[in-house]
């Protein structure tokens, strides 16, 4: 089956977006590109510790759009991004799929992946807390 390639420009703009959001004091538990086979496309998944829970996903997308505009993103758009809660059903399902495929959880639980490339994922951030909560 045809699979799109995650291009360097998206990886770089994704990292800049994460840095900008963190500089605005948004705590990000995980941030990674993941290839969704059912959509046949890559999406940048951002797991906020409290923003989505507190203000809702729409507000999170507004903050993301503001950051993208501020950085002058040329390749990365809001439509390329999914926001999730660390304890939400959607992220639990995705994390479970990643675990089953051996894409993330194969690392030592105390290490924090940074810029790790897997067949279907490119990980910028993965909080130790997510690893601990998944294993318990």
Residue 34 inside a domain? The answer is yes
| Three-state helix/strand/coil letters over 46-113 | EEECCHHHHHCHHHHHHHHHHHHHHHCCCCCCHHHEEEECCCCHHHHHHHHHHHHHCCCCCCCCCCCC
Residue 2 inside a domain? The answer is no
Residue 93 inside a domain? The answer is yes
Residue 107 inside a domain? The answer is yes
pLDDT of 103 > 80? The answer is no
pLDDT tens for each residue of 49-78: 888 889 999 999 999 999 999 999 999 999
Rg of the chain taking only CA atoms, in angstroms = 14
- Domain range holding 26? 8-135
pLDDT of 2 > 70? The answer is no
Residue 96 inside a domain? The answer is yes
Q: Quote the mean pLDDT of the chain.
A: 81
Residue 3 inside a domain? The answer is no
**Residue 129's pLDDT band (cuts 50, 70, 90):** low
d(Cα 115, Cα 121) in Å, to the nearest integer? 10
Residue 1 inside a domain? The answer is no
d(Cα 121, Cα 105) in Å, to the nearest integer? 12
What the block records as the tokens of 125 is 């951030």
What the block records as the tokens of 135 is 């294993």
pLDDT of 106 > 60? The answer is no
What the block records as the tokens of 16 is 């800049």
Count: domains in the chain: 1
What the block records as the tokens of 3 is 């699979």
Residue 51 inside a domain? The answer is yes
Hey, how many other C-beta atoms are within 10 angstroms of the C-beta on 134? 16
């Amino acid at each position: 089956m045809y699979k799109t390639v995650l291009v360097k420009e998206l990886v770089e703009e994704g990292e800049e977006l994460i840095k900008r959001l963190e500089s605005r004091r948004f705590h990000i538990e995980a941030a990674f590109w993941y290839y969704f086979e059912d959509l046949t496309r890559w999406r940048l998944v951002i797991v906020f510790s409290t923003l989505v829970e507190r203000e809702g996903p729409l507000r999170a997308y507004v903050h993301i759009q503001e950051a993208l505009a501020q950085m002058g993103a040329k390749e990365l758009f809001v439509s390329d991004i999914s926001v999730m809660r660390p304890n939400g059903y959607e992220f639990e399902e995705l994390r479970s799929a990643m675990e089953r495929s051996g894409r993330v959880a194969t690392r030592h639980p105390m290490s924090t992946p940074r810029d790790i490339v897997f067949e279907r994922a490119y990980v910028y951030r993965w909080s130790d807390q997510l690893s601990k909560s998944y294993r318990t």
